[in-house]
Structure 1
Amino acid sequence: MKNKLIFIFLDGVGLGEKVDSNPFTKAFMPTIFNLIGEKLTNTTNVTEQNILVKGIDACLEIEGVPQSATGQTSLFTGYNAQRHLGYHLMAYPNDQLISLINKRSIFKYAKENHIKSIFANSYTDKFFKSFDSTSPNYSVTTRCVLAAENKFNTLDDLVENKAVHWDITNVTLQDIPNNKVPLITPFTAGENLKNLTTDYDLVLYECFLPDLIGHRKDMNKSIMFLEMFDKFLEGVIYNKSENVQVLISSDHGNIEDLSFGGHSKNPVPFILIGNKAHHFLKIDTINEIFDMIFSKLFGIVSISEFEKI
Protein backbone atom coordinates (compact mmCIF):
# COMPACT_ATOMS: atom_id res chain seq x y z
CA MET A 1 0.00 0.00 0.00
CA LYS A 2 1.29 3.45 -0.85
CA ASN A 3 2.03 5.92 1.92
CA LYS A 4 -0.41 8.63 2.86
CA LEU A 5 0.22 11.64 5.07
CA ILE A 6 -1.83 13.79 7.42
CA PHE A 7 0.17 16.93 8.18
CA ILE A 8 -1.23 18.80 11.19
CA PHE A 9 0.19 22.30 11.37
CA LEU A 10 -0.21 23.94 14.78
CA ASP A 11 0.58 27.65 14.67
CA GLY A 12 2.60 28.89 17.64
CA VAL A 13 3.62 25.71 19.44
CA GLY A 14 7.11 25.21 20.78
CA LEU A 15 8.72 22.83 23.24
CA GLY A 16 9.22 24.64 26.53
CA GLU A 17 10.78 24.04 29.90
CA LYS A 18 9.13 22.22 32.79
CA VAL A 19 7.94 25.41 34.48
CA ASP A 20 4.62 26.77 35.73
CA SER A 21 4.24 29.07 32.71
CA ASN A 22 4.14 26.06 30.38
CA PRO A 23 0.57 24.70 29.97
CA PHE A 24 1.92 21.42 28.60
CA THR A 25 3.03 20.60 32.14
CA LYS A 26 -0.52 21.08 33.46
CA ALA A 27 -2.80 19.78 30.69
CA PHE A 28 -4.27 16.26 30.80
CA MET A 29 -3.22 14.77 27.46
CA PRO A 30 -3.62 10.97 27.66
CA THR A 31 -3.27 10.40 23.91
CA ILE A 32 0.11 12.13 23.78
CA PHE A 33 1.19 10.58 27.08
CA ASN A 34 0.34 7.07 25.92
CA LEU A 35 2.37 7.67 22.75
CA ILE A 36 5.49 9.14 24.33
CA GLY A 37 5.27 8.25 28.04
CA GLU A 38 5.80 11.79 29.33
CA LYS A 39 4.68 15.40 29.14
CA LEU A 40 5.71 17.15 25.94
CA THR A 41 8.60 19.51 26.80
CA ASN A 42 12.00 20.59 25.49
CA THR A 43 13.62 17.45 26.91
CA THR A 44 11.31 15.10 25.02
CA ASN A 45 13.16 12.88 22.57
CA VAL A 46 11.42 9.69 21.56
CA THR A 47 12.64 7.28 18.92
CA GLU A 48 10.44 4.21 18.67
CA GLN A 49 9.41 1.95 15.82
CA ASN A 50 6.19 3.83 15.13
CA ILE A 51 6.82 7.27 16.60
CA LEU A 52 9.45 9.97 16.48
CA VAL A 53 9.27 13.04 18.72
CA LYS A 54 11.98 15.68 18.82
CA GLY A 55 12.51 19.42 18.84
CA ILE A 56 13.62 21.09 15.63
CA ASP A 57 14.90 24.58 14.87
CA ALA A 58 12.62 27.34 13.57
CA CYS A 59 15.14 30.21 13.67
CA LEU A 60 17.17 28.96 10.68
CA GLU A 61 20.33 30.88 11.64
CA ILE A 62 18.62 34.27 11.38
CA GLU A 63 18.76 36.57 14.40
CA GLY A 64 15.52 37.54 16.04
CA VAL A 65 12.33 35.74 16.97
CA PRO A 66 10.68 33.43 14.39
CA GLN A 67 7.48 34.71 12.78
CA SER A 68 4.56 33.22 10.88
CA ALA A 69 5.06 34.33 7.28
CA THR A 70 8.66 33.16 7.00
CA GLY A 71 8.21 30.11 9.21
CA GLN A 72 5.21 28.82 7.29
CA THR A 73 6.85 29.51 3.93
CA SER A 74 9.85 27.45 5.05
CA LEU A 75 7.55 24.64 6.20
CA PHE A 76 5.47 24.50 3.05
CA THR A 77 8.04 25.20 0.34
CA GLY A 78 11.25 23.66 1.67
CA TYR A 79 13.13 26.88 1.03
CA ASN A 80 14.85 28.72 3.86
CA ALA A 81 12.54 31.72 3.66
CA GLN A 82 14.20 33.41 6.62
CA ARG A 83 17.59 33.35 4.92
CA HIS A 84 16.02 34.40 1.63
CA LEU A 85 14.65 37.58 3.23
CA GLY A 86 17.41 38.00 5.79
CA TYR A 87 14.87 38.48 8.58
CA HIS A 88 11.73 36.99 10.14
CA LEU A 89 8.47 38.31 8.66
CA MET A 90 5.20 38.46 10.60
CA ALA A 91 1.72 37.47 9.51
CA TYR A 92 1.18 37.33 5.74
CA PRO A 93 3.78 36.62 3.03
CA ASN A 94 5.14 39.56 1.04
CA ASP A 95 5.83 39.51 -2.69
CA GLN A 96 9.22 37.82 -2.22
CA LEU A 97 7.71 34.98 -0.21
CA ILE A 98 4.73 34.67 -2.55
CA SER A 99 7.21 34.14 -5.40
CA LEU A 100 8.72 31.21 -3.47
CA ILE A 101 5.27 29.77 -2.81
CA ASN A 102 4.33 30.09 -6.48
CA LYS A 103 7.58 28.45 -7.51
CA ARG A 104 7.39 25.43 -5.23
CA SER A 105 4.84 24.87 -2.51
CA ILE A 106 3.39 21.75 -0.96
CA PHE A 107 0.21 21.40 -3.05
CA LYS A 108 1.80 22.56 -6.29
CA TYR A 109 4.71 20.17 -5.88
CA ALA A 110 2.30 17.35 -5.03
CA LYS A 111 0.25 18.03 -8.16
CA GLU A 112 3.36 18.14 -10.35
CA ASN A 113 4.31 14.72 -9.00
CA HIS A 114 0.83 13.19 -9.32
CA ILE A 115 0.16 13.11 -5.59
CA LYS A 116 -3.46 13.89 -4.77
CA SER A 117 -3.56 16.53 -2.03
CA ILE A 118 -6.02 18.70 -0.16
CA PHE A 119 -5.98 21.58 2.30
CA ALA A 120 -8.48 20.19 4.80
CA ASN A 121 -9.59 23.53 6.26
CA SER A 122 -12.99 24.97 5.45
CA TYR A 123 -13.52 28.59 4.40
CA THR A 124 -16.54 30.71 5.26
CA ASP A 125 -18.96 32.30 2.82
CA LYS A 126 -17.40 35.67 3.70
CA PHE A 127 -14.08 34.51 2.24
CA PHE A 128 -15.63 33.61 -1.10
CA LYS A 129 -17.69 36.80 -1.33
CA SER A 130 -14.66 39.02 -0.78
CA PHE A 131 -12.12 36.84 -2.59
CA ASP A 132 -9.32 38.76 -4.29
CA SER A 133 -6.21 36.85 -5.33
CA THR A 134 -4.18 40.07 -5.21
CA SER A 135 -5.02 40.74 -1.57
CA PRO A 136 -1.97 41.05 0.72
CA ASN A 137 -3.95 39.53 3.59
CA TYR A 138 -3.90 35.85 2.74
CA SER A 139 -2.00 33.31 4.80
CA VAL A 140 0.78 31.10 3.49
CA THR A 141 -1.53 28.08 3.41
CA THR A 142 -4.13 29.97 1.37
CA ARG A 143 -1.36 31.07 -1.00
CA CYS A 144 -0.28 27.43 -1.32
CA VAL A 145 -3.81 26.46 -2.39
CA LEU A 146 -3.87 29.30 -4.92
CA ALA A 147 -0.45 28.36 -6.31
CA ALA A 148 -1.66 24.84 -7.05
CA GLU A 149 -5.08 25.97 -8.28
CA ASN A 150 -6.62 23.52 -5.80
CA LYS A 151 -10.17 23.81 -4.46
CA PHE A 152 -11.09 25.68 -1.30
CA ASN A 153 -13.40 23.76 0.99
CA THR A 154 -16.76 25.41 1.72
CA LEU A 155 -19.03 25.22 4.73
CA ASP A 156 -21.08 22.70 2.74
CA ASP A 157 -18.00 20.49 2.66
CA LEU A 158 -17.70 20.95 6.42
CA VAL A 159 -21.33 19.90 6.97
CA GLU A 160 -20.68 16.82 4.84
CA ASN A 161 -17.62 15.93 6.98
CA LYS A 162 -15.30 16.54 4.04
CA ALA A 163 -13.38 19.34 5.78
CA VAL A 164 -12.29 20.48 9.24
CA HIS A 165 -12.57 24.04 10.52
CA TRP A 166 -9.55 25.81 11.99
CA ASP A 167 -11.08 25.77 15.49
CA ILE A 168 -11.59 21.95 15.36
CA THR A 169 -15.15 21.87 16.81
CA ASN A 170 -16.85 24.58 14.67
CA VAL A 171 -17.49 26.71 17.75
CA THR A 172 -16.56 29.98 16.02
CA LEU A 173 -19.23 29.39 13.38
CA GLN A 174 -22.17 29.10 15.72
CA ASP A 175 -23.07 32.80 15.73
CA ILE A 176 -22.84 33.48 12.01
CA PRO A 177 -26.12 34.33 10.23
CA ASN A 178 -28.11 31.30 9.06
CA ASN A 179 -25.57 28.93 10.51
CA LYS A 180 -25.94 25.38 9.22
CA VAL A 181 -22.79 23.91 10.74
CA PRO A 182 -23.23 21.79 13.89
CA LEU A 183 -20.87 21.66 16.82
CA ILE A 184 -18.87 18.46 16.82
CA THR A 185 -16.57 16.78 19.29
CA PRO A 186 -12.79 17.01 18.87
CA PHE A 187 -12.69 13.24 18.40
CA THR A 188 -15.20 13.42 15.54
CA ALA A 189 -13.20 16.23 13.91
CA GLY A 190 -10.11 14.05 14.12
CA GLU A 191 -11.94 11.15 12.50
CA ASN A 192 -13.16 13.45 9.72
CA LEU A 193 -9.59 14.55 9.06
CA LYS A 194 -8.38 10.95 8.98
CA ASN A 195 -11.16 9.93 6.61
CA LEU A 196 -9.92 12.38 3.99
CA THR A 197 -7.06 9.94 3.34
CA THR A 198 -9.62 7.70 1.63
CA ASP A 199 -9.57 10.11 -1.32
CA TYR A 200 -6.27 11.95 -0.86
CA ASP A 201 -2.63 11.00 -0.40
CA LEU A 202 -1.51 14.22 1.31
CA VAL A 203 -3.82 16.04 3.72
CA LEU A 204 -2.73 19.32 5.33
CA TYR A 205 -4.66 20.84 8.22
CA GLU A 206 -3.95 24.14 9.98
CA CYS A 207 -5.02 25.19 13.47
CA PHE A 208 -3.94 28.65 14.60
CA LEU A 209 -5.75 28.61 17.95
CA PRO A 210 -2.58 27.98 19.99
CA ASP A 211 -0.93 31.13 18.63
CA LEU A 212 -4.02 33.23 19.39
CA ILE A 213 -4.28 31.86 22.91
CA GLY A 214 -0.55 32.15 23.54
CA HIS A 215 -0.57 35.85 22.71
CA ARG A 216 -3.28 36.34 25.33
CA LYS A 217 -1.24 34.54 28.01
CA ASP A 218 -4.39 32.69 29.04
CA MET A 219 -3.41 29.58 31.02
CA ASN A 220 -6.95 28.20 31.37
CA LYS A 221 -7.70 28.50 27.65
CA SER A 222 -4.27 27.08 26.82
CA ILE A 223 -4.96 24.00 28.92
CA MET A 224 -8.42 23.69 27.39
CA PHE A 225 -6.95 23.85 23.90
CA LEU A 226 -4.25 21.27 24.60
CA GLU A 227 -6.76 18.87 26.10
CA MET A 228 -9.11 19.41 23.14
CA PHE A 229 -6.25 18.83 20.70
CA ASP A 230 -5.36 15.61 22.50
CA LYS A 231 -8.89 14.31 21.91
CA PHE A 232 -8.69 15.49 18.30
CA LEU A 233 -5.44 13.55 17.84
CA GLU A 234 -7.09 10.50 19.36
CA GLY A 235 -9.70 10.67 16.61
CA VAL A 236 -7.02 11.06 13.94
CA ILE A 237 -5.06 7.97 14.97
CA TYR A 238 -7.98 5.79 16.07
CA ASN A 239 -8.07 2.76 13.78
CA LYS A 240 -5.95 4.56 11.16
CA SER A 241 -4.50 2.42 8.40
CA GLU A 242 -0.85 1.41 8.73
CA ASN A 243 0.05 3.27 5.55
CA VAL A 244 -1.23 6.58 6.99
CA GLN A 245 1.48 8.68 8.64
CA VAL A 246 0.58 11.59 10.95
CA LEU A 247 2.98 14.53 11.15
CA ILE A 248 2.63 17.39 13.65
CA SER A 249 4.81 20.50 13.62
CA SER A 250 4.80 24.29 13.94
CA ASP A 251 6.30 27.51 12.64
CA HIS A 252 7.48 29.02 15.94
CA GLY A 253 6.95 28.78 19.67
CA ASN A 254 4.40 30.70 21.75
CA ILE A 255 1.83 28.77 23.78
CA GLU A 256 4.50 26.74 25.59
CA ASP A 257 5.66 29.83 27.50
CA LEU A 258 2.90 32.13 28.76
CA SER A 259 5.26 34.29 30.80
CA PHE A 260 5.37 37.03 28.15
CA GLY A 261 2.72 36.41 25.46
CA GLY A 262 4.97 36.49 22.42
CA HIS A 263 6.73 34.17 20.03
CA SER A 264 9.72 32.26 21.34
CA LYS A 265 12.97 30.88 20.00
CA ASN A 266 12.19 27.49 21.49
CA PRO A 267 12.48 24.45 19.23
CA VAL A 268 9.18 23.40 17.71
CA PRO A 269 7.89 19.84 17.88
CA PHE A 270 8.40 17.35 15.13
CA ILE A 271 6.10 14.41 15.75
CA LEU A 272 5.73 11.58 13.26
CA ILE A 273 3.27 8.84 14.14
CA GLY A 274 3.46 5.86 11.80
CA ASN A 275 5.64 3.05 10.56
CA LYS A 276 7.86 5.40 8.53
CA ALA A 277 9.02 7.39 11.57
CA HIS A 278 12.56 6.02 11.30
CA HIS A 279 13.03 7.78 7.95
CA PHE A 280 12.88 11.19 9.67
CA LEU A 281 15.57 10.69 12.31
CA LYS A 282 17.97 13.22 10.80
CA ILE A 283 15.53 16.11 10.52
CA ASP A 284 16.76 19.18 12.43
CA THR A 285 15.02 22.26 10.97
CA ILE A 286 11.54 23.21 9.80
CA ASN A 287 12.58 23.78 6.18
CA GLU A 288 13.78 20.15 5.96
CA ILE A 289 10.27 18.79 6.49
CA PHE A 290 9.16 19.46 2.89
CA ASP A 291 11.95 17.42 1.32
CA MET A 292 11.55 14.60 3.84
CA ILE A 293 7.84 14.30 3.09
CA PHE A 294 8.29 13.94 -0.63
CA SER A 295 11.51 11.92 -0.69
CA LYS A 296 10.89 9.56 2.24
CA LEU A 297 7.12 9.05 1.97
CA PHE A 298 6.35 9.57 -1.71
CA GLY A 299 9.62 8.52 -3.33
CA ILE A 300 10.21 11.83 -5.11
CA VAL A 301 13.82 12.75 -5.86
CA SER A 302 15.43 14.79 -3.09
CA ILE A 303 14.95 18.56 -3.21
CA SER A 304 18.68 18.93 -2.60
CA GLU A 305 19.22 17.86 -6.21
CA PHE A 306 17.12 20.76 -7.50
CA GLU A 307 18.24 24.27 -8.20
CA LYS A 308 18.26 26.35 -5.03
CA ILE A 309 17.17 29.96 -4.80
Structure 2
Amino acid sequence: MLFLFVDGLGLGEALGDLFPRLLDLSPRPLDATLGVEGLPQSGTGQTTLLTGVNAAQLLGHHQGPFPSPRLKPLLRRSLYAWAREVGLTVLHANAYRPEYLRRATEGRRLLLSAFAQAAGLAGLSLLPLGHPLALPPAFWEDPYGMGARAASLSRAFDLVVLEYWALDLAAHRAPETLPERFWELSLFLEGFLAEGGELLLTSDHGNAEEPWHPRHTRNPVPLVYTGEAPFWPQDLAEVLPWLQAIIASKYRKSDRNT
Protein backbone atom coordinates (compact mmCIF):
# COMPACT_ATOMS: atom_id res chain seq x y z
CA MET A 1 0.00 0.00 0.00
CA LEU A 2 1.08 3.55 -0.72
CA PHE A 3 -0.05 6.16 1.80
CA LEU A 4 0.18 9.34 -0.25
CA PHE A 5 -0.18 12.24 2.15
CA VAL A 6 -0.93 15.50 0.32
CA ASP A 7 -0.40 18.52 2.55
CA GLY A 8 -3.00 21.28 2.20
CA LEU A 9 -5.71 19.62 0.10
CA GLY A 10 -9.35 20.21 0.97
CA LEU A 11 -12.53 19.43 -0.91
CA GLY A 12 -13.94 22.42 -2.77
CA GLU A 13 -15.73 23.32 -5.98
CA ALA A 14 -12.56 24.44 -7.76
CA LEU A 15 -11.20 20.89 -7.75
CA GLY A 16 -13.46 20.09 -10.68
CA ASP A 17 -11.12 22.23 -12.77
CA LEU A 18 -7.90 21.90 -10.78
CA PHE A 19 -7.83 18.22 -9.85
CA PRO A 20 -10.49 16.20 -11.69
CA ARG A 21 -8.37 13.03 -11.35
CA LEU A 22 -8.97 13.12 -7.63
CA LEU A 23 -12.72 13.41 -8.10
CA ASP A 24 -12.60 10.39 -10.44
CA LEU A 25 -11.52 8.39 -7.38
CA SER A 26 -14.69 9.34 -5.45
CA PRO A 27 -12.99 10.84 -2.37
CA ARG A 28 -14.87 10.67 0.91
CA PRO A 29 -14.85 13.76 3.15
CA LEU A 30 -12.99 13.83 6.45
CA ASP A 31 -13.57 16.54 9.06
CA ALA A 32 -10.23 18.26 9.66
CA THR A 33 -11.43 20.83 12.21
CA LEU A 34 -11.06 18.39 15.13
CA GLY A 35 -13.78 20.23 17.05
CA VAL A 36 -11.44 23.15 17.74
CA GLU A 37 -12.02 26.75 16.68
CA GLY A 38 -9.68 28.37 14.22
CA LEU A 39 -8.06 27.14 11.03
CA PRO A 40 -6.62 23.60 11.02
CA GLN A 41 -2.83 23.39 10.90
CA SER A 42 -0.25 20.82 9.85
CA GLY A 43 1.40 20.07 13.19
CA THR A 44 -1.78 19.00 14.95
CA GLY A 45 -3.54 17.66 11.86
CA GLN A 46 -0.72 15.35 10.83
CA THR A 47 -0.13 14.19 14.39
CA THR A 48 -3.81 13.32 14.67
CA LEU A 49 -3.74 11.37 11.41
CA LEU A 50 -0.69 9.40 12.49
CA THR A 51 -1.70 8.66 16.08
CA GLY A 52 -5.49 8.60 16.27
CA VAL A 53 -5.34 11.15 19.12
CA ASN A 54 -6.93 14.56 18.68
CA ALA A 55 -3.77 16.65 19.01
CA ALA A 56 -5.59 19.98 18.63
CA GLN A 57 -7.88 19.19 21.55
CA LEU A 58 -4.88 18.04 23.57
CA LEU A 59 -3.12 21.39 23.04
CA GLY A 60 -6.32 23.42 23.11
CA HIS A 61 -5.61 24.94 19.70
CA HIS A 62 -4.49 24.12 16.17
CA GLN A 63 -0.71 24.28 15.84
CA GLY A 64 1.70 24.22 12.95
CA PRO A 65 3.61 23.87 10.80
CA PHE A 66 5.70 21.50 12.92
CA PRO A 67 4.58 19.49 15.96
CA SER A 68 5.40 21.07 19.31
CA PRO A 69 7.51 19.09 21.79
CA ARG A 70 4.31 18.31 23.72
CA LEU A 71 3.21 16.10 20.83
CA LYS A 72 6.38 14.00 20.73
CA PRO A 73 5.01 11.33 23.14
CA LEU A 74 2.09 10.84 20.76
CA LEU A 75 4.38 10.54 17.75
CA ARG A 76 6.29 7.75 19.48
CA ARG A 77 3.09 5.70 19.12
CA SER A 78 2.40 6.53 15.48
CA LEU A 79 1.31 4.50 12.48
CA TYR A 80 4.97 3.82 11.75
CA ALA A 81 5.65 2.43 15.22
CA TRP A 82 2.50 0.31 15.22
CA ALA A 83 3.16 -1.09 11.74
CA ARG A 84 6.67 -2.15 12.70
CA GLU A 85 5.45 -3.70 15.95
CA VAL A 86 2.99 -5.93 14.11
CA GLY A 87 5.69 -7.05 11.68
CA LEU A 88 5.02 -4.95 8.61
CA THR A 89 7.81 -3.79 6.36
CA VAL A 90 7.60 0.00 6.28
CA LEU A 91 9.28 2.66 4.15
CA HIS A 92 9.19 6.41 4.69
CA ALA A 93 9.97 7.14 1.07
CA ASN A 94 10.67 10.90 1.14
CA ALA A 95 14.11 11.91 -0.05
CA TYR A 96 15.80 14.74 1.86
CA ARG A 97 18.65 17.06 1.00
CA PRO A 98 21.44 16.67 3.60
CA GLU A 99 21.67 20.44 4.09
CA TYR A 100 17.94 20.60 4.81
CA LEU A 101 18.19 17.88 7.43
CA ARG A 102 21.07 19.71 9.11
CA ARG A 103 19.10 22.95 9.31
CA ALA A 104 15.97 21.15 10.49
CA THR A 105 17.61 19.11 13.22
CA GLU A 106 20.52 21.15 14.58
CA GLY A 107 18.61 24.16 15.88
CA ARG A 108 16.88 24.65 19.21
CA ARG A 109 13.64 23.24 17.79
CA LEU A 110 13.15 20.25 15.53
CA LEU A 111 11.83 21.65 12.25
CA LEU A 112 10.57 18.41 10.78
CA SER A 113 7.01 17.48 9.88
CA ALA A 114 5.01 15.08 12.02
CA PHE A 115 5.53 12.40 9.38
CA ALA A 116 9.32 12.80 9.42
CA GLN A 117 9.45 12.94 13.23
CA ALA A 118 7.23 9.89 13.62
CA ALA A 119 9.31 7.93 11.11
CA GLY A 120 12.52 8.75 12.96
CA LEU A 121 11.01 7.91 16.35
CA ALA A 122 9.99 4.51 14.96
CA GLY A 123 13.58 3.80 13.95
CA LEU A 124 13.22 4.50 10.24
CA SER A 125 15.90 6.38 8.35
CA LEU A 126 15.28 9.71 6.65
CA LEU A 127 16.76 8.88 3.26
CA PRO A 128 18.96 11.23 1.22
CA LEU A 129 18.29 12.24 -2.35
CA GLY A 130 19.66 9.61 -4.67
CA HIS A 131 19.02 6.70 -2.31
CA PRO A 132 17.64 3.75 -4.33
CA LEU A 133 14.57 3.49 -2.08
CA ALA A 134 13.87 7.23 -1.84
CA LEU A 135 11.42 9.27 -3.88
CA PRO A 136 11.79 13.00 -4.40
CA PRO A 137 8.68 14.37 -2.72
CA ALA A 138 7.70 16.83 -5.47
CA PHE A 139 8.75 18.74 -8.60
CA TRP A 140 9.14 15.56 -10.64
CA GLU A 141 10.56 15.70 -14.17
CA ASP A 142 8.53 12.58 -15.00
CA PRO A 143 5.51 12.44 -12.66
CA TYR A 144 3.98 9.43 -14.42
CA GLY A 145 7.22 7.49 -14.14
CA MET A 146 7.55 8.52 -10.49
CA GLY A 147 4.09 7.12 -9.84
CA ALA A 148 5.09 3.85 -11.49
CA ARG A 149 8.22 3.75 -9.33
CA ALA A 150 6.12 4.32 -6.21
CA ALA A 151 3.92 1.38 -7.25
CA SER A 152 7.00 -0.81 -7.51
CA LEU A 153 8.08 0.20 -3.99
CA SER A 154 4.58 -0.48 -2.69
CA ARG A 155 4.92 -4.07 -3.89
CA ALA A 156 8.26 -4.44 -2.13
CA PHE A 157 7.01 -3.10 1.23
CA ASP A 158 3.80 -3.62 3.16
CA LEU A 159 3.45 0.11 3.74
CA VAL A 160 5.11 2.97 1.85
CA VAL A 161 4.48 6.54 3.01
CA LEU A 162 5.17 9.54 0.78
CA GLU A 163 4.57 13.06 2.04
CA TYR A 164 3.81 15.50 -0.81
CA TRP A 165 4.23 18.98 0.64
CA ALA A 166 4.55 21.10 -2.52
CA LEU A 167 0.82 21.74 -2.91
CA ASP A 168 0.58 23.53 0.43
CA LEU A 169 3.80 25.42 -0.31
CA ALA A 170 2.46 26.62 -3.64
CA ALA A 171 -0.89 27.64 -2.15
CA HIS A 172 0.88 29.81 0.45
CA ARG A 173 3.68 31.29 -1.62
CA ALA A 174 3.06 30.88 -5.36
CA PRO A 175 -0.63 30.24 -6.10
CA GLU A 176 -0.03 30.88 -9.78
CA THR A 177 1.87 27.55 -9.87
CA LEU A 178 -0.99 25.50 -8.39
CA PRO A 179 -2.22 24.19 -11.78
CA GLU A 180 1.26 22.77 -12.37
CA ARG A 181 1.29 21.05 -8.98
CA PHE A 182 -2.18 19.57 -9.50
CA TRP A 183 -1.15 18.33 -12.95
CA GLU A 184 1.97 16.79 -11.44
CA LEU A 185 -0.11 14.95 -8.85
CA SER A 186 -2.57 13.79 -11.50
CA LEU A 187 0.18 12.25 -13.62
CA PHE A 188 1.73 10.64 -10.54
CA LEU A 189 -1.61 9.01 -9.70
CA GLU A 190 -2.01 7.84 -13.30
CA GLY A 191 1.41 6.19 -13.23
CA PHE A 192 0.77 4.58 -9.86
CA LEU A 193 -2.69 3.26 -10.63
CA ALA A 194 -1.65 2.00 -14.08
CA GLU A 195 0.70 -0.39 -12.28
CA GLY A 196 -2.12 -1.71 -10.09
CA GLY A 197 -0.92 -0.13 -6.87
CA GLU A 198 -3.12 0.08 -3.78
CA LEU A 199 -3.58 3.72 -2.82
CA LEU A 200 -4.49 5.54 0.36
CA LEU A 201 -4.61 9.33 -0.05
CA THR A 202 -5.59 11.98 2.44
CA SER A 203 -4.58 15.38 3.83
CA ASP A 204 -4.33 17.37 7.05
CA HIS A 205 -6.24 20.56 6.19
CA GLY A 206 -7.65 22.49 3.29
CA ASN A 207 -5.73 25.18 1.43
CA ALA A 208 -5.01 24.68 -2.28
CA GLU A 209 -8.64 23.96 -3.20
CA GLU A 210 -9.33 27.71 -2.79
CA PRO A 211 -6.50 29.21 -4.87
CA TRP A 212 -7.87 32.76 -4.64
CA HIS A 213 -6.37 33.23 -1.15
CA PRO A 214 -3.25 31.86 0.68
CA ARG A 215 -4.92 30.75 3.91
CA HIS A 216 -5.89 27.35 5.26
CA THR A 217 -9.58 26.47 5.15
CA ARG A 218 -12.03 24.57 7.33
CA ASN A 219 -13.15 22.46 4.38
CA PRO A 220 -13.22 18.68 4.78
CA VAL A 221 -10.21 16.87 3.36
CA PRO A 222 -10.40 13.95 0.93
CA LEU A 223 -9.96 10.30 1.79
CA VAL A 224 -9.29 7.93 -1.09
CA TYR A 225 -8.69 4.23 -0.64
CA THR A 226 -8.69 1.87 -3.62
CA GLY A 227 -8.97 -1.34 -1.60
CA GLU A 228 -11.84 -2.81 0.39
CA ALA A 229 -12.81 -1.01 3.60
CA PRO A 230 -15.04 -2.46 6.36
CA PHE A 231 -16.23 1.04 7.27
CA TRP A 232 -15.21 4.65 6.65
CA PRO A 233 -13.77 7.20 9.07
CA GLN A 234 -15.47 10.55 9.55
CA ASP A 235 -12.56 12.70 10.79
CA LEU A 236 -8.78 12.77 11.05
CA ALA A 237 -8.72 11.04 14.45
CA GLU A 238 -10.51 7.99 13.05
CA VAL A 239 -8.05 7.33 10.22
CA LEU A 240 -5.46 5.34 12.19
CA PRO A 241 -7.89 2.86 13.80
CA TRP A 242 -9.62 2.51 10.44
CA LEU A 243 -6.33 1.70 8.73
CA GLN A 244 -5.40 -0.73 11.48
CA ALA A 245 -8.70 -2.54 10.92
CA ILE A 246 -7.99 -2.79 7.19
CA ILE A 247 -4.53 -4.21 7.80
CA ALA A 248 -5.82 -6.67 10.40
CA SER A 249 -8.47 -7.83 7.94
CA LYS A 250 -5.81 -8.41 5.29
CA TYR A 251 -3.79 -10.55 7.68
CA ARG A 252 -6.85 -12.65 8.52
CA LYS A 253 -7.51 -13.22 4.83
CA SER A 254 -3.86 -14.09 4.26
CA ASP A 255 -3.94 -16.61 7.12
CA ARG A 256 -7.01 -18.30 5.61
CA ASN A 257 -5.24 -18.61 2.26
CA THR A 258 -2.10 -20.29 3.66
Superposition pairs of residues 78-89 of structure 1, within 5 angstroms:
78-89=52-63
| Matching residue's letter, 1:253 | G
| Matching residue's letter, 1:250 | S
Report SS of the residue matched to 2:219: coil
Structure 1 residue aligned with 2:18, among 17, 20, 27?
Answer: 27
Structure 2 residue aligned with 1:268, among 188, 197, 221?
Answer: 221
Give yes or no for the alignment of 1:197 onto 2:150: no
Superposition pairs of residues 1-309 of structure 1, within 5 angstroms:
5-16=1-12, 18=13, 22=14, 24-27=15-18, 29=20, 31-32=21-22, 35-36=24-25, 46=26, 53-102=27-76, 104-127=77-100, 129=102, 131-132=105-106, 135-157=109-131, 160=132, 162-169=133-140, 184-216=141-173, 218=175, 220-240=176-196, 244-274=197-227, 276=228, 278-280=229-231, 282-299=232-249
Report SS of the residue matched to 1:235: helix
Report SS of the residue matched to 1:298: helix
Distance 1:225 1:124, change over 3 A: same
Q: Do 2:3 and 2:199's aligned partners in 1 also have CA atoms closer than 8 Å?
A: yes
Q: Do 1:187 and 1:233's aligned partners in 2 also have CA atoms closer than 8 Å?
A: yes
Q: Do 1:78 and 1:290's aligned partners in 2 also have CA atoms closer than 8 Å?
A: yes
Gaps of 5+ in 1: 37-45, 47-52, 170-183, 302-309
Q: Matched residues, percent identical?
A: 29
Q: TM-score, normalised by structure 2?
A: 0.89
Q: Deviations over 1:90-130 (max 9, x none)?
A: 1111111111102x111111111111111110111214555
Report SS of the residue matched to 1:26: helix
Distance 1:63 1:28, change over 3 A: closer
**Residue 292 of structure 1: how far off its partner (Å):** 1.1
Distance 1:198 1:134, change over 3 A: farther
**Residue 139 of structure 1: how far off its partner (Å):** 1.4
Distance 1:128 1:28, change over 3 A: closer
**Residue 168 of structure 1: how far off its partner (Å):** 4.5
In structure 2, C-alpha distance between the alignment counterparts of 1:133 and 1:116, rounded to whole Å: 31
Runs of at least 4 residues of structure 1 off by over 6 A?
A: none
Report SS of the residue matched to 2:96: coil
Stretch of structure 1 that moved more, 258-267 or 209-218: 209-218
Q: Do 2:66 and 2:111's aligned partners in 1 also have CA atoms closer than 8 Å?
A: yes
RMSD of Structure 2 on Structure 1 (CA): 2.2
Distance 1:95 1:224, change over 3 A: same
| Matching residue's letter, 1:107 | Y
Distance 1:128 1:269, change over 3 A: closer
Report SS of the residue matched to 2:73: helix
The structure with more radius of gyration: 1
Gaps of 5+ in 2: 252-258
Q: Deviations over 1:173-219 (max 9, x none)?
A: xxxxxxxxxxx30001111111112321011100111111111362x
**Residue 246 of structure 1: how far off its partner (Å):** 0.5
Stretch of structure 1 that moved more, 108-117 or 129-138: 129-138
| Matching residue's letter, 1:13 | L
Matched pairs, number: 250
Instruction: Name the one with the larger helix percent.
Output: 2
Report SS of the residue matched to 1:270: strand
**Residue 135 of structure 1: how far off its partner (Å):** 3.8
In structure 2, C-alpha distance between the alignment counterparts of 1:134 and 1:217, rounded to whole Å: 29
In structure 2, C-alpha distance between the alignment counterparts of 1:123 and 1:217, rounded to whole Å: 22
Report SS of the residue matched to 1:156: coil
